[in-house]
Structures are given as C-alpha cells and as structure tokens.
Structure 1
Amino acid sequence: MQNEGVPSSGYSEIRRLMETGEPVCITFETEEGDVKKRLHGTMPFQKSVPEEKTAGEERNELPGKSGFLFCELVQKARMGEKFRISGQSCSPGDYVLGLSEKSPAEYYLRSGRYSNKQDAEKAALSLPRLKRKFHSIVIEPLSVNRDIFDVLILFLKPERAMRVVQANAYSGGKRTVMDTMGAASICGDCTVFALEQGIGLSFGCKGSRKHSGYKDFEVPLGIAFEKIKEIEEGLSKIPETTE
C-alpha cells in the first residue's frame, strides 16, 4: 500500500497505459472530529488547490458545489487541474453519488433513452449508488496526489483496457465483471461500481462523451485503491500484445 503523505510517484505500469493526460484520483473525504478520512481508510488532511474558489477555506469548512459535471471535472483533472467540491451539476450524477434521492427516471424518459416510463424507472433503479456519507470530493491528477485515494480513473484504448483485465486475472485467474448500460458511466460505472467491486469497465455514456469530450476510441475504466497494487504487479508480469 502506498505510504500516506507521499506523492503518487509510483504506478509506472498504470501510468503508461494512458496516451493523453494522466490517471485521475477520486477521494471521498469524510469527517471525524478534526481529521479528514477517505471512505476506505484514514488519510491526513491536505488542503487542495482546486479550480473552484476556496480561498480562505477553513480546514473543516464545506467546499462549494461545482458548476461542472462530475465527468467534466474528471477530464479537467486528467489534463492537470485539481478540485475539491461538495457537489456537481449533473442530476443523474447526484443520484449516483448519493447527493440526491431524486431518481433520474423522468429525465431519462424525456431524453428518449428508454421506450416507456417503466423501463426508465428500471434503468434508474439499476444504477450503482454510493450509500456511504462523505464531506467532499477531491478530483486530481495522479501526479499531484499525496495521500491514498478511493478510485483511479483511466481513459484507454481497448487494447490497453484489455491489459488491465489480463492483469486482474494474473493472480487467481479471475474474470473481470463488466456491468454497464451506457448511462452514468464515469460517476457510476467507473467510480461507484469500481469502489465496490474493484474494477469498473465502461463504454462511456451519452452525457460524458458529449460534455467531457474524451475520444470515441477511448473506454473509461476505474480501479479501486485496494486493487491498484495487484493491477500494477500484473501489468509488469503479463506479456505485451506483440509478444
């Protein structure tokens, strides 16, 4: 496990999977007295320097809600920016991240994604949802992360995503479960589902591809912190595609 308070300078195998930008760390900060903690373990608090204005913010003060969508913030972090937020501007994303109890079923039906109200409601109910409470979300490039994080999100060509799947099977021969429906891809498939299941592989969704602008040939993939060491080791051992 990565030492707390040390920059994420390792993960060389994971880093070289991405051709544009860098992997993005997602940390759900929780409160316990004066100490910040992530969902899956303790971490010392480190004040972020986000794009959203938080100048003069006290250590336990709630940061502001972002005017960007979660998937847009992830793309901006991929290119070097860093954020600490208490919310974002996508209503289905709020539902998935546990920031709202309002189902996106009506929105999905109006958008023409599903044939009728019943199907839209079924789709909404099938979305992964973060049930645990958190205080704020830090979204930042791997290169500036100094603590442990909850989820790492990558944008990969299919061949590179295949290598992550192979690396996951290197020890134990286990299959990687893919559970997606082309909705809530970055917030749901690659963040919440990955946090709970270890890996979340997605083809993206209409919203994230439209608003955040990752390439048609890229597939997003999330890896839970607890899986990172295993995936990094597997990547270093499995043969290259050309071998």
Structure 2
Amino acid sequence: MQIERVPFSGYPKLRRLMETGEPVCVTFEIEEGDTRERFREVVPASGSVPVQETVPAQETVPAQETVPIQETVPIQETVPVQKAVPKKKVTGKGSEELPEKSGFLFCELVQKARMGEKFRISGQNCSPGDYVLGLSEENPAEYYLKSGRYRDTQAAEKAALSLPRLKRKFCSVVVEPLSLNKGNFDVLILFLKPEKAMRIVQANAYSEGKRTVMDTMGAASICGDCTVLALEKGMSLSFGCKGSRKHSRYEDFEVPLGIAFEKVEEIEEGLSKLPETMC
C-alpha cells in the first residue's frame, strides 16, 4: 500500500542555516521498508541480542492499521518476526522490490538530494565509501598510497584503518531532502558557511556548556565524518575531503556537518534560544 507523503516542515531553524538547497536525510533500512527504529534498536552491532529483548513488540513498535504484515514474513532469515511487529513500507516501493546499487558516489547522492532528488539504493560507487559503510572488508590503504596523500605504506594503512565504519547491517539506504522525509531518519547532513556551522556548535553547547570535538582527517568526509561518526557521536563536523569536493562539487566555502536523529531536536531548540550573531 502506498502511503501519501506530505512535505515535512520540521526543524525550521536548521533549514534556514543552509543558503543553497536543504538538509539531507539519510536512513538505513535493515529490511525492505524498515525504518530507523529497527536499524537502531533491533539489530545490535554484535548480532547476539535477541529481538524480543531489545524491542518489545507491544511497547516500541506499535502496529499500524494501514500497513499489515503476514505472520509468515521474516525480518531476516535467522530472526523470525513476532506477530505484533509491523513492517513499515517506503513510499512507492513494493515489499518485494529490491533497490539497485547506484552508479553515483554516496557523497554525490547526498549532494543531489540536497537539491531535491530522492534515492533508495543498496550500494554506491566509491570503494572507500563501501569500506566505511560496511559494504566491503577491503580497506582503501593501497588506493590512499597511490593518491600521494600519505608518505608511505605504513601511513596509508594507518589512515585507512582509522576510518569510521558502520557496524550495523542494512539492506538499503534512503537519501532524500528533508522536505520529502516524514520526520524519521538516522542522520541529517547540512552544508554550511563557517559562521552557520558555528551556530550549530553553539547550539550544541547551549544546554550543558559542552565543547564540540572534531574528529577528521580530510578523508571519507560525507560517508565517514558526517554519517557514520554522526551516528556514533551524535554530531560530527568535517572540512570535506578531496573526493567529495571533486565529485559532488559543493562550494569551497562550505563545510559539511552531520547530526544524528536523536540530537536534532536538541540542536533545533538550542538554535531557537541563541542570541543572533552581531556583525
């Protein structure tokens, strides 16, 4: 059943920080049409925690009358679905339709989504990105060494092994502008001028006075810094990387920043309380 979508009008303060395009929502699906609750709560990194212990069906995943499931449909081959757990659908996609691997790089997809396009994919076309997103076990050390960005093999290997990696499994990724999202995603990615990025750092400090710690090395910026690290740490600021700036062509004066879903509301509230910047 196709669910009618309406423009999502949330987070007006965050929206206004971007001067070109709009914030981008990234959602990882662990099963056809599943949403972030299942990705974040049902599937642990180790894969050893049973579904019923982490997500009681009757409490955290209420059934929706409009999207019923058959009792015999499994979440995964090894984890049977509880009868009361619904399976949510992605708009316009049948439950049996598998998304294709995209010919674009992940950072290109994010940039296109920023300008209004929507994608649902099972993979992307960047080898370091595959490693970061957990789609490949082959680290990009050799590629990094050949690029000339590191002094020797040891430095390239250390850089590759220090990349953040998505530890949880998924079957598809939805990349879409915030206006097409229904308020349910994993990471929100913005492209900002430094002064606007400062506002988010200040909003992060508003409630508890905490500092924002940067963790970046100018590599795998959109997939690693702004997606995986944002999921792990709540928020992650980057200066971009050679690949994302070359292929997705965001402006030289823009810095990308990722915010995990759980932290977006806090940042939005902080922005609403901050005094305006005096110029």
| TM-score, length basis structure 2 | 0.79
1:37 maps to 2:81: no
Query: Which one has a larger percent strand, Structure 1 or Structure 2?
Result: 1
Q: Percent identity?
A: 76
Contact kept in structure 1, 2:25 and 2:178, CA below 8 Å:
yes
**1:8 maps to amino acid:** F
Q: Residue 36 of structure 1 aligns to a residue in which SS?
A: coil
Q: Choose from 203, 225, 237 the match for 1:201.
A: 237
Residue in structure 2 matched with residue 114 of structure 1 by the alignment: 150
Is the counterpart of residue 47 in structure 1 residue 91 in structure 2? yes
Q: Residue 159 of structure 2 is aligned with which of 102, 123, 128?
A: 123
Give the counterpart of 1:135 among 171, 184, 187: 171
Query: 1:182 Cα deviation (Å)?
Result: 0.2
User: For residues 102 and 224 of structure 1, what CA distance do their matches in structure 2 show?
Assistant: 27
Per-residue deviation, 1:58 = 3.2
207-216 vs 58-67, which moves further: 58-67
> What is the aligned counterpart of 2:258 among 222, 225, 234?
222
Deviations 1:13-45 (A, max 9, x none): 0000000000000000112xx761322256832
- Per the alignment, residue 192 of structure 1 pairs with 228
Q: What is the rounded CA distance, in whole Å, between the counterparts of 1:60 and 1:122 in structure 2?
A: 41
Matches of 1:215 and 1:120, distance apart in 2: 27
Q: Which runs of 5+ in 1 are unaligned?
A: 49-56
Supply the distance in 1 between the matched residues of 2:10 and 2:111 (Cα, whole angstroms).
Answer: 21
Q: Deviations over 1:109-147 (max 9, x none)?
A: 001010000000000010000010001000000001024
Query: Which amino acid in 2 is paired with 1:40?
Result: R
TM-score (norm. length: structure 1): 0.90
Q: 1:170 corresponds to which residue? A: 206
User: What residue in structure 1 maps to residue 8 of structure 2?
Assistant: 8
- Structure 1 position 82 matched with structure 2 position 126: no
Letter of the 1:12 counterpart: P
Q: CA deviation at 1:210?
A: 0.3
Structure of higher CA gyration radius: 2
Q: Cα offset for 1:166? A: 0.3
Unpaired runs of 5+ in structure 2?
A: 42-60, 62-86
CA shift for structure 1 position 46: 2.0
* Residue 79 (structure 2) aligns with: none
User: Would you say the 8 A contact 1:44–1:147 is kept in 2?
Assistant: no
Q: Could you say what the CA RMSD is over the residues aligned between the two structures, in angstroms?
A: 1.6
For residue 161 of structure 1, what is the aligned residue in structure 2?
A: 197
Moved more, 142-151 or 34-43: 34-43
